[in-house]
Amino acid sequence: MRAVRFHEHGGPEVLTVDEVDDPDPEHGQVVVDVEAAGVNPVDTYFREGAYPVPHLPFIGGGDLAGTVAEVGEGVEQFAVGDRVFGTGLGNGMPGSYAEQAAAPADFLAHLPDEVGFDAGAALGTVGATAWQALVHHASAEPTEVVLVHGGSGGVGHVAVQLADTMGAYVHTTASPEYEAELEDLGADTVFDYARDDLEDAVTEAGGADVVVDLHMDQYLQFNADVVNAGGRVVGIGNDTAEGGFSDIGVTKGKEVQYQFMSMFNADDIGAVLAKVADLAAQGEMTPVVHETYGFEDAGEAQRAVLEDSFLGKLVLEP
């Protein structure tokens, strides 16, 4: 089969398309014929060497959607021919940038017929992350105000939809060019993240009961200042808190809860994906696929996911 691998750590140029052996399922795994693989910033961290891989060369990629080709021992919830999607690959095990991938059954969920393979591949990491942030950690409630930083991003544009579905009033920050699209996805107020009076604008619009932030190093103090009493701030991402707090006392006065999270820590990724799949089937959570790439252009896709401005997700197709 064909697979995208890196034989050494480095930039996007180290990705190559190789012929490799088809995978065999271990106990508790299924082999998936991959129809599409999502491209996420975290994929680049493994390629660069910031996150460890078990060996080189290595197949990257965390998200996939496709059809079950083979079922390993101990797997009862899936059968050959089932449409599935999943996330969590590429972290200690070969990833999804391949024509076939062996995936732990617990990292997969059934993909509804109403959801295409590209959308399924785009949904795994971002859907599970948004669910863990808003439902599991923040316990966001109807009528609360949710602020999503970076609403045009992969997690951001799905978190906007989930918060809207939960009955929240949704603020988000983004470039002005994405305002109309984000309003269509469920945002009530879209703030230009570059405006000088952003903190005042958010506060005057009601502040936030819940903040979902992928860049906590930039907004630690900002979040503390705009969050309402009893608010929850959920930090996602790979940033370091270089800025820190200039006035941490405000967090004590408001009884603010801070939660730093990773989707990989979910107790049952498959169960979370099943809930996300239900929302996708109902049209309540629809990932925007900005562009698709062939395997030969995987390097360009990984460059774009870090450097380009766009709304939604990027996807590879074998």
pTM of the model: 0.93
Can you give the pLDDT at residue 262? 79
> What local confidence, expressed as pLDDT, does residue 259 receive?
87
CATH tag, 126-263: 3.40.50.720
What pLDDT does residue 250 have? 61
Please give the DSSP secondary-structure letter assigned to residue 265.
Answer: G
Are the C-beta atoms of 161 and 133 separated by less than 8 Å?
no
Q: Which CATH class is domain 2-111+288-317?
A: alpha beta
In the predicted model, is pLDDT for residue 236 greater than 60?
yes
Which residues of the chain form CATH 3.90.180.10? 2-111+288-317
Q: How confident is the model at residue 149 (pLDDT cuts 50, 70, 90)?
A: very high
**30 — pLDDT class (breaks 50, 70, 90):** very high
273: nearest Cα among 77, 54, 46: 77
Give me the mean pLDDT over the 191-203 stretch: 96
Q: Give the pLDDT of residue 253.
A: 63
Residue 229: what pLDDT?
95
Count Cβ atoms within 10 A of the Cβ of residue 41 and give its class: 0-12 exposed, 13-18 middle, 19 or more buried.
Answer: middle
Q: What is the mean pLDDT of residues 111-125?
A: 98
Q: Where in the chain is the domain with CATH 3.40.50.720?
A: 126-263
Checking if the pLDDT of 216 tops 80, the result is no
* Amino acid found at 28: G
Cβ density class 58-97: b for 16+ within 10 Å, e for less: bbbbbbbbbebbbbbeebeebeeebbbbbbbbbbebbbbb
* 115-129, 137-151, 241-255, range with the lowest pLDDT: 241-255
Q: Please report where in the chains the tokens 């076939």 appear, as a residue.
A: 100
Residue 242 has pLDDT above 80, yes or no: no
The answer to whether 88 and 272 have CB atoms below 8 angstroms apart is no
Q: Which amino acid is at 217?
A: D
* Alpha-carbon distances, residue 298 vs 69, 138, 239, 314 (angstroms): 24, 35, 24, 10
Q: 42: which 2 tokens?
A: 């975290």
pLDDT of residue 255: 78
pLDDT exceeds 70 at position 142: yes
